[in-house]
Protein backbone atom coordinates (compact mmCIF):
# COMPACT_ATOMS: atom_id res chain seq x y z
CA UNK A 1 0.00 0.00 0.00
CA UNK A 2 2.78 2.35 1.04
CA UNK A 3 4.66 1.82 -2.23
CA UNK A 4 1.53 2.32 -4.34
CA UNK A 5 0.91 5.58 -2.54
CA UNK A 6 4.44 6.87 -3.20
CA UNK A 7 4.22 5.82 -6.86
CA UNK A 8 0.88 7.61 -7.25
CA UNK A 9 2.37 10.65 -5.54
CA UNK A 10 5.36 10.72 -7.87
CA UNK A 11 3.07 10.32 -10.86
CA UNK A 12 0.75 13.10 -9.85
CA UNK A 13 3.83 15.29 -9.41
CA UNK A 14 5.00 14.38 -12.93
CA UNK A 15 1.52 15.12 -14.29
CA UNK A 16 0.65 18.21 -12.30
CA UNK A 17 2.04 20.64 -14.86
CA UNK A 18 0.30 18.91 -17.73
CA UNK A 19 -2.57 21.16 -18.85
CA UNK A 20 -4.89 18.22 -19.68
CA UNK A 21 -4.35 16.20 -16.49
CA UNK A 22 -6.53 18.13 -14.00
CA UNK A 23 -9.24 18.35 -16.65
CA UNK A 24 -9.26 14.56 -17.13
CA UNK A 25 -8.38 13.36 -13.62
CA UNK A 26 -11.49 14.49 -11.80
CA UNK A 27 -14.26 12.48 -10.21
CA UNK A 28 -14.48 9.90 -7.47
CA UNK A 29 -10.94 8.87 -6.33
CA UNK A 30 -10.18 5.27 -5.29
CA UNK A 31 -13.76 4.28 -6.08
CA UNK A 32 -14.69 0.78 -4.91
CA UNK A 33 -16.81 -1.31 -7.26
CA UNK A 34 -18.00 -4.85 -6.70
CA UNK A 35 -19.89 -7.46 -8.67
CA UNK A 36 -19.96 -10.97 -9.99
CA UNK A 37 -18.50 -12.26 -13.23
CA UNK A 38 -19.95 -15.66 -14.10
CA UNK A 39 -20.82 -16.27 -10.45
CA UNK A 40 -17.41 -15.31 -9.07
CA UNK A 41 -17.17 -12.29 -6.77
CA UNK A 42 -14.85 -9.45 -7.89
CA UNK A 43 -13.85 -6.14 -6.38
CA UNK A 44 -12.00 -3.23 -7.92
CA UNK A 45 -10.48 0.02 -6.69
CA UNK A 46 -10.52 2.57 -9.48
CA UNK A 47 -8.07 5.47 -9.28
CA UNK A 48 -10.57 7.95 -10.71
CA UNK A 49 -14.19 7.33 -11.69
CA UNK A 50 -16.13 10.10 -13.38
CA UNK A 51 -19.82 9.35 -13.72
CA UNK A 52 -20.80 13.02 -13.85
CA UNK A 53 -19.36 13.71 -17.26
CA UNK A 54 -21.70 13.48 -20.24
CA UNK A 55 -19.62 10.52 -21.34
CA UNK A 56 -18.78 8.54 -18.21
CA UNK A 57 -15.23 7.30 -17.96
CA UNK A 58 -12.62 6.05 -15.54
CA UNK A 59 -8.87 6.44 -15.29
CA UNK A 60 -6.22 4.19 -13.82
CA UNK A 61 -2.69 5.50 -13.23
CA UNK A 62 0.23 3.25 -14.11
CA UNK A 63 3.97 3.58 -13.78
CA UNK A 64 6.13 1.94 -16.42
CA UNK A 65 9.91 1.57 -16.91
CA UNK A 66 9.70 2.61 -20.54
CA UNK A 67 6.58 2.59 -22.73
CA UNK A 68 8.41 1.08 -25.67
CA UNK A 69 10.14 -1.82 -23.93
CA UNK A 70 9.12 -5.26 -25.20
CA UNK A 71 8.06 -8.05 -22.82
CA UNK A 72 8.07 -11.76 -23.56
CA UNK A 73 4.67 -13.41 -23.09
CA UNK A 74 4.94 -17.12 -22.31
CA UNK A 75 1.34 -17.92 -23.18
CA UNK A 76 1.30 -16.20 -26.56
CA UNK A 77 4.96 -16.97 -27.37
CA UNK A 78 5.57 -13.45 -28.61
CA UNK A 79 6.68 -10.03 -27.43
CA UNK A 80 3.93 -7.78 -26.09
CA UNK A 81 3.76 -4.26 -24.67
CA UNK A 82 3.71 -3.45 -20.93
CA UNK A 83 -0.09 -3.18 -20.74
CA UNK A 84 -0.61 -6.60 -22.31
CA UNK A 85 2.14 -8.17 -20.20
CA UNK A 86 0.81 -6.83 -16.90
CA UNK A 87 -2.81 -7.74 -17.61
CA UNK A 88 -4.00 -4.13 -17.66
CA UNK A 89 -6.49 -4.78 -20.48
CA UNK A 90 -8.16 -7.48 -18.39
CA UNK A 91 -8.11 -5.21 -15.33
CA UNK A 92 -9.85 -2.41 -17.25
CA UNK A 93 -12.38 -4.91 -18.68
CA UNK A 94 -13.22 -6.13 -15.15
CA UNK A 95 -13.54 -2.55 -13.85
CA UNK A 96 -15.83 -1.63 -16.75
CA UNK A 97 -18.04 -4.65 -16.02
CA UNK A 98 -18.15 -3.89 -12.25
CA UNK A 99 -19.07 -0.24 -12.92
CA UNK A 100 -21.88 -1.44 -15.16
CA UNK A 101 -23.13 -3.77 -12.41
CA UNK A 102 -22.76 -1.18 -9.61
CA UNK A 103 -24.10 1.94 -11.37
CA UNK A 104 -25.76 0.63 -14.55
CA UNK A 105 -23.45 2.84 -16.61
CA UNK A 106 -21.15 1.97 -19.49
CA UNK A 107 -17.99 3.92 -18.66
CA UNK A 108 -15.03 4.24 -20.99
CA UNK A 109 -11.63 3.17 -19.60
CA UNK A 110 -8.40 5.14 -19.89
CA UNK A 111 -4.91 4.41 -18.65
CA UNK A 112 -2.66 7.33 -17.83
CA UNK A 113 0.91 6.09 -17.73
CA UNK A 114 4.11 7.76 -16.61
CA UNK A 115 7.53 6.26 -17.22
CA UNK A 116 10.23 5.91 -14.57
CA UNK A 117 12.89 7.41 -16.86
CA UNK A 118 14.86 10.35 -15.44
CA UNK A 119 12.78 12.56 -17.72
CA UNK A 120 9.37 10.87 -17.40
CA UNK A 121 7.35 10.04 -20.48
CA UNK A 122 3.57 10.54 -20.24
CA UNK A 123 0.62 9.16 -22.21
CA UNK A 124 -3.10 8.50 -22.04
CA UNK A 125 -4.39 5.30 -23.63
CA UNK A 126 -7.84 4.08 -24.64
CA UNK A 127 -8.54 0.34 -24.76
CA UNK A 128 -10.33 -1.28 -27.73
CA UNK A 129 -13.62 -2.99 -26.78
CA UNK A 130 -12.74 -6.15 -28.69
CA UNK A 131 -9.48 -6.54 -26.73
CA UNK A 132 -11.39 -6.28 -23.44
CA UNK A 133 -14.00 -8.79 -24.62
CA UNK A 134 -11.25 -11.23 -25.59
CA UNK A 135 -9.71 -10.89 -22.12
CA UNK A 136 -13.08 -11.43 -20.40
CA UNK A 137 -13.64 -14.58 -22.46
CA UNK A 138 -10.23 -15.90 -21.37
CA UNK A 139 -11.00 -14.97 -17.76
CA UNK A 140 -14.23 -16.95 -17.81
CA UNK A 141 -12.27 -19.98 -18.94
CA UNK A 142 -9.70 -19.80 -16.15
CA UNK A 143 -11.21 -17.91 -13.19
CA UNK A 144 -12.72 -21.00 -11.53
CA UNK A 145 -9.29 -22.62 -11.54
CA UNK A 146 -7.74 -19.45 -10.04
CA UNK A 147 -10.44 -19.35 -7.33
CA UNK A 148 -9.74 -23.00 -6.46
CA UNK A 149 -5.98 -22.31 -6.29
CA UNK A 150 -6.64 -19.35 -3.93
CA UNK A 151 -8.90 -21.58 -1.80
CA UNK A 152 -6.14 -24.19 -1.76
CA UNK A 153 -8.36 -26.98 -3.08
CA UNK A 154 -6.38 -27.25 -6.31
CA UNK A 155 -2.61 -26.99 -6.90
CA UNK A 156 -1.35 -24.27 -9.28
CA UNK A 157 0.01 -25.33 -12.66
CA UNK A 158 3.72 -24.43 -12.69
CA UNK A 159 4.88 -22.24 -15.58
CA UNK A 160 8.43 -23.51 -15.05
CA UNK A 161 10.11 -20.15 -15.68
CA UNK A 162 9.24 -17.64 -12.96
CA UNK A 163 11.12 -17.02 -9.69
CA UNK A 164 8.64 -19.13 -7.72
CA UNK A 165 8.92 -22.08 -10.10
CA UNK A 166 12.73 -21.89 -10.18
CA UNK A 167 12.83 -21.78 -6.37
CA UNK A 168 10.78 -24.99 -6.14
CA UNK A 169 12.46 -26.81 -9.02
CA UNK A 170 14.44 -30.04 -8.53
CA UNK A 171 16.49 -31.95 -11.05
CA UNK A 172 13.69 -34.55 -11.09
CA UNK A 173 13.42 -36.09 -14.52
CA UNK A 174 16.01 -35.85 -17.27
CA UNK A 175 15.09 -33.97 -20.43
CA UNK A 176 16.79 -34.00 -23.80
CA UNK A 177 19.07 -31.03 -24.47
CA UNK A 178 17.16 -30.54 -27.72
CA UNK A 179 14.03 -29.71 -25.72
CA UNK A 180 15.39 -26.57 -24.06
CA UNK A 181 12.87 -23.87 -24.81
CA UNK A 182 14.29 -20.59 -26.06
CA UNK A 183 12.40 -17.33 -26.13
Judged by beta carbon, residue 149 or residue 165, the one nearer Zn ion is 165
- Nearer to Zn ion (CB atom), residue 146 or residue 165: 165
Report the phi/psi class of residue 39: left, alpha or beta, with left for phi > 0 and alpha for psi in -120 to 50: left
**149 contacts Zn ion (rule: CB under 5 A):** no
Among residues 165, 169, 170, 174, which is the contact residue for Zn ion, using CB under 5 A?
A: 165
The one among 12, 43, 149, 162 contacting Zn ion by CB under 5 A:
162
Asked if residue 105 lies in contact with residue 56, where contact means CB atoms within 8 angstroms, the answer is: yes
**Ramachandran area for residue 172 (φ above 0: left; ψ -120 to 50: alpha; else beta):** left
Candidate residues 27, 159, 167, 180; the one interacting with Zn ion per rule CB under 5 A:
159
**Cβ 25 to Zn ion, closest distance in Å?**
36
| DSSP secondary structure string for all residues of 110-157 | EEEEEE-SSS--EEEEE--HHHHHHHHHHHHHHHHHHHHHHHTSSPPP
Task: Indicate the residue among 43 and 162 with the shorter CB distance to Zn ion.
Answer: 162
| 95-124 burial code (b ≥16 CB/10 A, e <16) | bbbbbeebeeeebbbbbbbbbeeeebeeee
Of the listed pieces 4-12, 38-46, 136-144, 158-166, which binds Zn ion according to CB under 5 A? 158-166
- Give the total of residues touching Zn ion (CB under 5 A): 3
Name the segment binding Zn ion (CB under 5 A); options: 27-35, 81-89, 152-160, 173-181: 152-160
- Burial of residue 44 (CB within 10 Å: 0-12, 13-18, 19+) is buried
Among 79-87, 101-109, 140-148, 154-162, the segment contacting Zn ion (CB under 5 A) = 154-162
Q: How far is the CB of 169 from Zn ion (least distance, A)?
A: 9
**Which residues contact Zn ion by CB under 5 A?**
159, 162, 165
Amino acid sequence: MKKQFTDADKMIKALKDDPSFPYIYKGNKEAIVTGKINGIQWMGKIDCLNLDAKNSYFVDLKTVDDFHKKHWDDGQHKFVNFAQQRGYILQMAIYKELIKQTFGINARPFIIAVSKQSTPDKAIYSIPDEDMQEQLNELQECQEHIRDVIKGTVKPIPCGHCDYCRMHKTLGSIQSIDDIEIF
